Amino acid sequence: MKLKNRILAGLALTLAGATVLLLVAPSQVVLPSPHQPHHGRTQAKGPGHKSRILQKSPTNSSEVTGSTAEVTGSTAEAQEPPMEFPEVRLALEGAAQRVAAPRPPTHNPTLAELAVAEEGEVGMAGVWEAFQYGISREEMYPVEGTAVQDVLSAMRVLPIVGITQKEGGTQLKLIIEFEDGGQALFKPMRFPRTQETLPNHFYFTDFERHNAEIAAFHLDRLLGFRRAIPVTGRTLNITRDIYSLAEGDLLKTFFISPAGNLCFHGKCSYYCDTSHAICGAPDMLEGSFAAFLPPKAAAPRKTWRHPWRRSYHKRRKAQWENDPEYCEVVRDVHPYNQGRRLLDVVDLAIFDFLMGNMDRHHYETFKTFGNETFPVHLDHGRAFGRAGHDEITILAPLYQCCMIRASTVSTLLSYHSGPRRLSAALRRSLAEDPVSPVLLEPHLAAVDRRVARVLTTLTECLTASAAPDRVILARDSLYSNIQPDQPVDDGHYFS
């Protein structure tokens, strides 16, 4: 029995030791190679097997967690001191030094001046005409002047005498007619400011936000672009200002919700049904009012396909998303092969990135001014959707072309380093709007964070470029990609 007990005791000790070794020994885990895609199933397949893989979009975009990503958060936490970006500052100084002399003043004609030259005197009795015919070749409105403020004031207070649903588009918009004959485009409030874009929703299925249109106008002005049309907020009484003026199919879509609120949904290709209705509280409705551009008969516009347009497809990618050298394709096509247009597209990309706007498929220019004019900054309803997400791919024109205006860099650096951050300037500007607060604090904090991301991307361009002195350009005329014997494209490639 003693021998048997010894054997049993030995077996028990052996089993216990083996158990301890299994518990404390490091697990042998095989990690996927960083150079190969990992989609969950890694076992080998037979020679005739076809794997079915959904491709993820390669992106360096970041998701911010913590208090800054909370939509209802505040700016109480102390911010980290801003980076200095010495490479960018040095390159900016070099760009200024390479310009031998200040640019001689050039004439910046307005639509009114050109109309007078062609047709004689042009009447500009009202605030609307003063704004529309004051549009110039280089900007939507001048730094100094009262035309834009007059238009904003008119859209905020003038009585409404007529409404028409705008044709086209995926979501409901109304054309508002004021008693003095002026018109504006009305985008209604669909949901509270605290409701962000759902992470699993594509940019092209997101609702449009009226407050994003308002904030975009103010941001464009603060960046010194002045290429966006004037937009203001206003609260309407649906019963008096819309229902009493509605006719036809629009009138048939009004109803009282179970909560007792007055609602309507209009007629359009998407999001115009009872489940996507626009409701008042109980009949008060907030929205954005955007001023109309001049009639196309007086100031015709050309529509251009954006070179970095997204595919607007759940699985298909655009060419620029797969080709890191895509900018070389753009550089060879008119009007991006010389002059200001490619630099304008980079400005537009930075503007969109600061707002988080991925919905940029086309843009317009005024034909009257030819190709040496600015792209009109229009349609920003899908901006400011996610405060905690920075979509770096919006900056593709910057990091693929590695070129930018010196004036844009100077503006970004001044806001980044202070004394007043871009968020503070934007908060102060938006406070003047009738529907303030237009943006919640996390979206304002995101603007500052994204300014730093733009400057970081520019630093990477300067480091990687074989010609860093060609990254920041003090003058548009310094850029030209035309070779002596190179034919100029007629511009239809991106039309």
The mean pLDDT of the chain is 83
Is 359 noted as a catalytic residue in this protein? yes
Q: Which of 344, 352, 359, 448 is catalytic?
A: 359
Residue 219 has pLDDT above 90, yes or no: yes
Among all chains, which residue has been given the structure tokens 């969950």? 40
Give CA separation, 185 vs 169, 179, 421, in Å: 13, 15, 31
Kindly state the average pLDDT of the residues 31-39.
38
Helices (H), 26-146: 86-98, 111-119, 127-132
Please give the Cα distance from 362 to 378 (Å, whole number): 9
Banded model confidence at residue 477, pLDDT cuts 50, 70, 90:
confident
Give just the sign of the alpha carbon dihedral 65, 68, 72, 76. Answer: positive
Please give the Cα distance from 139 to 155 (Å, whole number): 21
Kindly state the average pLDDT of the residues 109-133.
79
Contact call for residues 394 and 362 (beta carbons, < 8 A) = no
Q: How many CB atoms lie within 10 A of CB 164?
A: 15
For 457, the enclosing helix (H) or strand (E) is: helix 441-464
pLDDT tens, residue by residue, 197-217 = 877 776 666 778 999 999 999
Residue 490 has pLDDT above 80, yes or no: no
Report angle CA 127, 231, 358 to the nearest 5 degrees: 145
> Where along the chain do its domains lie?
111-291, 299-478
Banded model confidence at residue 116, pLDDT cuts 50, 70, 90:
low
Instruction: Point out the least confidently predicted range of 50-59, 122-131, 141-150.
Output: 50-59
Burial of 455 (0-12, 13-18, 19+ CB in 10 A): buried
Please give the Cα distance from 460 to 454 (Å, whole number): 10
- For residues 170 and 490, which has the higher predicted lDDT (pLDDT)? 170
Kindly state the average pLDDT of the residues 293-304.
94
**Beta strand residue intervals within 2-147, DSSP E:** 62-63
Banded model confidence at residue 475, pLDDT cuts 50, 70, 90:
confident
The reported pLDDT for the residue numbered 288 is: 97
